[in-house]
Chains A and B, each alone.
Chain A
Amino acid sequence: MSFISYLINGVSLGSVYAIIALGYTMVYGIAKMLNFAHGDVIMVGGYVVFVLVSGMGLPPILGVLVSMVVCTVLGITIEKVAYKPLRMAASPLAVLITAIGVSYLLQNIALLLFGANTKSFTSVVTIPAVVLADGKLTISGETIVTIAACIVIMIGLTLFINLTKAGQAMLAVSEDKGAAQLMGINVNGTIALTFAIGSALAAVAGVLLCSTYPSLTPYTGAMPGIKAFVAAVFGGIGSIPGAMIGGILLGVIEILGKAYISSQMADAIVFAVLIVVLLVKPTGILGKEIQEKV
């Protein structure tokens, strides 16, 4: 029974990683850059909800929606201001370093605005916990909502990419930016759209993360961000189903490793698995092997 409980917790944690990993993987697939500020957008999403719901007493669902809008605007602004001017001109390394810079910028702004004190985040989920098997198995409302949100987001995103013009444009840009531009696709607009979707998802992830683990600091997004990046690489960076599988596997490995191997080695186990996967399959589980043409 406790195994099932661990498994459910693992899937729940993995679902949060998966939603964050989607942001990493989409941006990488389309703009070919690693947006290390993504984890901190999660933190911003958390603080927006904290201010609106705990501070101003707005209904949680409104708080989440406003938080998504704020993060979307933030994501597009970061892209326009910090990444786009460097994309054409400089080496890929410059964009990477800028991303790290933006990450610290966001953390320090949050530190300045909210201080370093931990805020206890009131859960936005009101669904009661489900108790099964005579109280031996309790599934919290947050767990149910997290897993459900993950499934909805995955289906929605797949439909969006395969059925809409904007989604097809994203696929085209990810395959060949130059050719897509020649076909009349607005490459910059598509990249901005990707950042917008990724950041809105980050807001959702932030709310789910803080609801399940009710503490909020300016560094809340840092470690989940890194783990989600690992999940994206694990699943095959650039691949959307890969990010989902990678995220959920990572969460399950982390929780089961903690439960059956050692609770203090959890992170070591997670990163060791990453190394093994990359040694065996360097492009990740669902990653495509791309042959460089000469």
Chain B
Amino acid sequence: MKKFLSIVVASAMVAATLAGCGGASASDSTAETTENSASTEAAEGGASAEGATFKIGGIGPVTGGAAVYGQAVKNAAQLAVDEINAAGGINGAQIEFNFQDDEHDAEKAVNAYNTLKDWNMQMLLGTVTSTPCVAVVEKSHEDNMFQLTPSGSAVESIQYDNAFRVCFSDPNQGKASAQYIGENKVAEKIAVIYNSSDVYSSGIYQTFAAEAANQGLDIVSAEAFTEDSKTDFSVQLQKAKDAGAELVFLPIYYTEASIILGQADKMGYAPMFFGCDGLDGILAVEDFDTSLAEGVMLLTPFAADAQDELTQNFVKAYQEAYGDIPNQFAADAYDGIYAIKAAAEKAGITPDMSASDICDAMKAAMTEITVDGLTGAGMTWGADGEPNKAPKAVKITNGAYAAM
């Protein structure tokens, strides 16, 4: 009897889980299929009437530890695509945008890339985070697929000539941070806490350390952590405190930074905190006490409270559509779609061209365009894929990002 009961319970548990997973994935795939078939129909219908559509794919973390970024990019890119479509599209052709989740994981990003290729993607906006981007750029280079990452900042993220980016590179961010701190005399004694198992974090740290020497900044403690031990920062903070650091530089992502701020507060240590674009999103961590982040400075090319018309319109449209104030990643993605539009118009590409032909035309056109975007006026690109624009710093005041 007991055995029977346990079997029943076991099968019920298994069934429940399977139903749970199966249900979710089944409904997902149906949703995708319907979406795809709908879009194919639309594309076919469109082809006979007024020419085909451009298929732009997007990849980024919509779930997981960096979900805030993927979500922002997805939303803002969609916003830009809708605007462009309403205004008549690119070279008279409408754009279709398909965004896939990679959970900030290199393997899943490559799977997402393959999914998009099956969908006949012609250009890629992504990936959002550096580590997956390094993996995906290998694939897109093999396929000669035009790739523009809104925010993949590692050097290797755009190491091939088919790839460009909207944001600053890691070396650039590290250098600019040190220059900003040095030139504005924010602090002299600096401690660094970085993630040695992440290319983004260690990349920024290295150039920061190099430039800090030129700026006369004194790095009194530089401590690392790794992916497997990213919950306890008591030692790193204690060392920074003992070394008398006035400012702690955090070239890391916001999840760990939120823990660091909490632990520093608990041990009664209140230095200034300074970070790069990875800290953007810290105010959106669920249940995070935002008063802990008060006064945190971060280097980012976008501040939602800027007064220019472009930013104001964008923030308003974004808020109406999604209810949040957009962060820097949203701005990068929005600029990314408009950069694609500008380059596509310059190159005069049409939707019936192959992805490889589009890529050849686009990579020449990218170096010739100038884009006035949210993240910088008069942005231009070099053949190495790096953008030219000036960095800005923002400070968290009263639970919001404010320009400094």
Give A259 to B241 CA distance when docked, in angstroms. Answer: 13
Binds B, one of A63-71, A108-116, A166-174: A108-116
Chain A residues with CB under 8 A of B67: 116-117
Min C-beta distance of B19 to chain A, whole Å = 11
Asked if B224 and A215 sit within 8 Å, CB to CB, the answer is no
**B295 at interface, CB cutoff 8 A:** no
The A-contacting residues of B in range 1-41, CB under 8 angstroms, are 3, 6-7, 9-10, 13, 17, 20-21, 24
Cα separation A54 to B229 with both chains bound (whole Å): 25
Distance in Å from the Cβ of A76 to the closest Cβ of chain B? Answer: 11
**Smallest Cβ-Cβ distance to A140: which chain B residue:** B266
B206 on the A face (CB < 8 A): no
Say if the beta carbon of A131 comes within 8 Å of chain B: yes
Q: Is B65 an interface residue (CB 8 A)?
A: yes
User: Which of B75-83, B84-92, B254-262 forms contacts with chain A?
Assistant: B254-262
Give 1 or 0 for each of A197-229: 1 = CB within 8 Å of chain B CB.
000000000000000111101000001000000
| Of the residues A5, A109, A117, A122, contact of B64 by C-beta under 8 Å | A117
Q: In this complex, which of A105, A108, A116, A267 has the most chain B Cβ atoms within 10 angstroms of its Cβ? A: A116
Question: Contacts of A109 on B, CB cut-off 8 Å?
Answer: 17, 20
CB-contacts of A66-109 with B (<8 A): 77, 80-82, 84-85, 105, 108-109
Residue in A13, A81, A223 whose Cβ sees the most chain B Cβ within 10 Å: A81
| Inter-subunit contact B235/A9 (CB<8 Å) | yes
Interchain CB contact under 8 A, A6 and B63: no
Q: Enumerate B234-271 residues with CB–CB distance to A below 8 Å.
A: 234-236, 238-239, 242, 255, 258-259, 262-263, 266-268
Q: Choose, from B152-160, B284-292, B317-325, B367-375, the stretch at the interface.
A: B284-292
Contact between chains at A215 and B64 (CB < 8 Å): no
Instruction: With CB as the reference atom, state the residue of chain B lying closest to A220.
Output: B231
**A-chain residues with CB within 8 Å of residue B65 when the two chains form the complex:** 116-118, 217
Known A81-B13, A85-B3, A115-B63; contact A259-B287, beta-carbon cutoff 8 A: no
- Would you list which residues of chain B between 218 and 235 have a CB under 8 Å from chain A? 223-226, 228-229, 231-232, 234-235
- Whole-angstrom distance from the CB of A229 to the nearest CB of chain B? 15
* B interface bracket (residues with beta carbon within 8 Å of A): 35 or more
The residue on A at minimum CB distance from B193 is A263
B232 x A120 contact (CB < 8 A) = no
A40 close to B (CB within 8 Å): no
Among A122, A131, A255, which residue has its beta carbon within 8 angstroms of that of B235?
Answer: A255
Question: Which residue of chain A has its CB nearest to the CB of B10?
Answer: A81
Select from chain B the residue with minimum beta-carbon distance to A263. B223
B332 lies within 8 A of chain A by Cβ: no
- Residues of B close to A112: CB separation below 8 A: 20-21, 24
**With contacts A109-B17, A120-B258, A215-B231 known, is A2 near B242, CB below 8 A?**
yes
Known contacts A54-B287, A215-B258, A108 near B229 by CB under 8 Å: no
Kindly state the separation between the CA atoms of A54 and B288 in the bound complex, as whole angstroms.
11
B266 touches A116 (CB 8 A): no
Report the separation of the CA atoms of residues A109 and B20 in the bound assembly, to the nearest whole angstrom. Answer: 9
Residues of B within 8 A of A129 (CB): 266-268
A interface footprint on B81-122 (CB within 8 Å = 1, 0 otherwise): 000000000000000000000010000000000000000000
Q: How far is the CA of A46 from the CA of B24 in the complex (A)?
A: 25
Chain A residues whose C-beta falls within 8 Å of the C-beta of B226 in the assembled complex: 264, 266-267
List the 4 shortest-distance A-B pairs measured between CB atoms, nearest first: A213-B231, A264-B224, A120-B288, A116-B64
- Pick 10 A–B contacts, CB within 8 A, sort by A: A2-B242, A85-B7, A129-B267, A135-B268, A255-B234, A262-B224, A263-B224, A264-B197, A266-B229, A267-B228
Interface residue ranges, B against A (CB under 8 Å):
3, 6-7, 9-10, 13, 17, 20-21, 24, 63-65, 67, 103, 196-197, 223-226, 228-229, 231-232, 234-236, 238-239, 242, 255, 258-259, 262-263, 266-268, 285-289
